[in-house]
Chain A
Amino acid sequence: MNLTKMLLRRFLYLILLLLGVATCVFFISKMVPGDAIAAYLSPRSLANPDIVNAFKEKWGLNDPIWVQYGRYIFNLMQLDLGTSIRTGNPVMEELIRYFPATLELAFFSILFSSFFGIIFGIISATKRNSLIDQALRALSVTGVSVPSFWFAIIMLYVFYATLGWAPGLGRLNIRTIAPMEVTGSFVLDGLIAGDFDAVKDALAHLILPSIVLGSFTMGLITRTTRSSLLETLSTDYIRTAKAKGLAPSAVIVVHALGNAAIPVLTVIGVGFGNLLGGMVVVEKIFAWPGVGQFAYQSVLGLDFPAIIGVSLLIAVNYAIINLIIDIMYGIIDPRVRESQ
């Protein structure tokens, strides 16, 4: 098994990709019509050429573009993401602060969408063309068609404002004290500290945003599980398994599911990528203090070091998820293991 070689290749490719992403943002930042610094300085400061010059000097904007680009890439290589123009803090620090909240939400959301997506997909495939199959297919198309920002508002209106079943915005109630930070995930930290009220509160706050964020991915997973399972169920070895008298449930669990899993895994990976992008909207509406909110504020403020930081973080995450999935392919499917 040539895992090291594969990892090395993946790593090199990732570096190239990140360079590409960084280059993209760098040149977009130079596309700003008029004077880029107008976004950062007040009109009064802009009127003063000394201040403008000092600002340009400070951020190295007086150098030719290739020098700026070179310096920028050089800094990136040393994992220096620069300073956020909007907040004045190092971008790396900001990302480390916001990322745990996002990761926690993403985790629960993918858990929700995989669990229901796979179960719905199995029911749909085994009861093919029945009423329940049609209903679940309609549900999965609704999942991929619902605008998440609208869904979020409706969920909040119904379950928080009207019924009062769900807690409001943010990660915890105002009265709940956040557990001592170890991992940054309130659920894990609460468990570590033995503070079960905090765990309960954190979980309650996770429900609505996880459902909203996960509905798209759930739709995708339901669909893929259904079609992949149907394809597997029509193969010869399944017919053999049925012919030798295995119970239908045993056929599905023992023989079909494992073989149908690879496309499903791929979609879970794609879904995770979508999730990190969809964060922007969901975090904004649920006042979730994560990377998505940070990204939203940064984009509106044209804070390019921060935008680059967020983009690189998401690209790295995406690459890691896909790597994990590729390794899982090998665990599930011996054919893939051989070729790796």
Chain B
Amino acid sequence: MKTFFRLYRTNLFFSLGITVCAAWVLIALFADGISPQDPLAQDIIQRLKQPSAEHWFGTDSLGRDILSRVIVGSKLSIFAGLLTVILATLVGSIYGGIAGYVGGVVDDIMMRLAEMVLAFPALILAMTIGAVLGASLYHTLFALVIVAWPTYARIMRSVVITIKENDYIEAAQAIGASNFRILTREIFPNAMGSILIVATLDIGNQILFFSTLSFLGLGTPPPDPEWGSMISAGMKNFNSWWICTFPGLAILTMAIGANFVGDGVRDMLDPKLRKEFH
């Protein structure tokens, strides 16, 4: 906690990132309350209107208020980014943890399988899964997790292999602790740092990836406001620049915020880098 505050005071980017992320989380939490208008309400007479006092971010081709849609859309992006990372971390850590702990042939086979997924071009794999299952939020999340978990498995495995050599693991084995107990009580807690670094850095990526899939028509089906699909709709009204611009800025700021925080967390947790801040 002390390191956190020092980082917050000394690292401009980290404090900026925390502020931006906190702002977005607050916006998402109170989205329905603060959105000035109904994000789904159509008003054909007011369609494709430039930003004005009434519609700060303008309106889209159906006359919907873009500001409201951007605000409500934040819920989905944060939800998708966080959930993907959490699920991928869980699946990947357990998988990689087992592979690293058991070792030998099991390890070999498990890791070759994970590499198979990694060898795949991620976007094409996710698109294919999304297309096969049909466009829906949960199918997209499923596709994102499938693409993301092997990275975590690899990191977890390498961390576990290093930790396994430590004396305290041998001590635990000597006093007769079960493998399950050693994995959950000794190894996982010690490996969390490395995983956390990657996971925080990954949130921004997953938000980007999710919006890319939505842009390509493989995310949530309309009319729910989602930033990627809003931009895709804006492309069809190319000259109404505001339709694309604002959801894009939303994605950009959120991803930058997440990346700044991720960098900060890495600086905080990575002992090799920590000395820079003392």
Contact = CB atoms under 8 A, between A and B. Distances in A.
B121 A150 contact: no
A314 interface: yes
| A interface residue count range (under 10 / 10 to 19 / 20 to 34 / 35 or more) | 35 or more
A211 B140 CA distance: 28
A144 B259 contact: yes
Interface stretch (A46-54, A73-81, A153-161, A247-255): A153-161
A259 interface: no
B58 to A, nearest CB: 14
Contacts of A31: 129, 132-133
B211 interface: yes
Given A20-B115, A145-B252, A146-B252, A153 B231 contact: yes
A300 B251 CA distance: 25
Interface string B180-210: 0000000000000000000000001000100
A20 B118 CA distance: 10
A29 B234 CA distance: 32
Residue among A142, A147, A277 with max Cβ neighbours from chain B (10 Å): A147
Contacts of A311: 120-121, 124-125
B238 A157 contact: yes
A171 interface: no
Contacts of A246: none
A266 interface: no
Interface stretch (B38-46, B67-75, B161-169, B239-247): B239-247
B256 A307 contact: no
B131 interface: yes
Residue among B129, B212, B239 with max Cβ neighbours from chain A (10 Å): B212
Contact of A307 (B116, B128, B239, B252): B128
Nearest to B262: A141
Interface of chain A, main secondary structure: helix
Interface string B111-140: 011011101111111011101111000000
B226 to A, nearest CB: 12
B13 A137 contact: yes
A321 interface: no
A22 to B, nearest CB: 10
A18 B121 CA distance: 12
Interface string A261-284: 000000000000100111011001
Contacts of A144: 204, 255, 259
Contacts of B131: 299-300, 302
5 contacts: A16-B112, A17-B116, A24-B125, A145-B256, A299-B124
Interface of A: 16-18, 20-21, 23-25, 28-29, 31-33, 134, 137-138, 141-142, 144-151, 153-154, 156-157, 161, 273, 276-278, 280-281, 284-285, 295-296, 299-300, 302, 307, 310-311, 314-315, 318
Q: Which 7 pairs, one residue from A and one from B, show the smallest C-beta to C-beta distance?
A: A20-B116, A150-B248, A145-B255, A145-B256, A277-B123, A277-B121, A314-B121
Given A31-B133, A141-B260, A277-B123, 10 more contacts: A18-B119, A20-B115, A24-B125, A32-B132, A33-B134, A134-B12, A150-B252, A280-B216, A299-B128, A315-B119
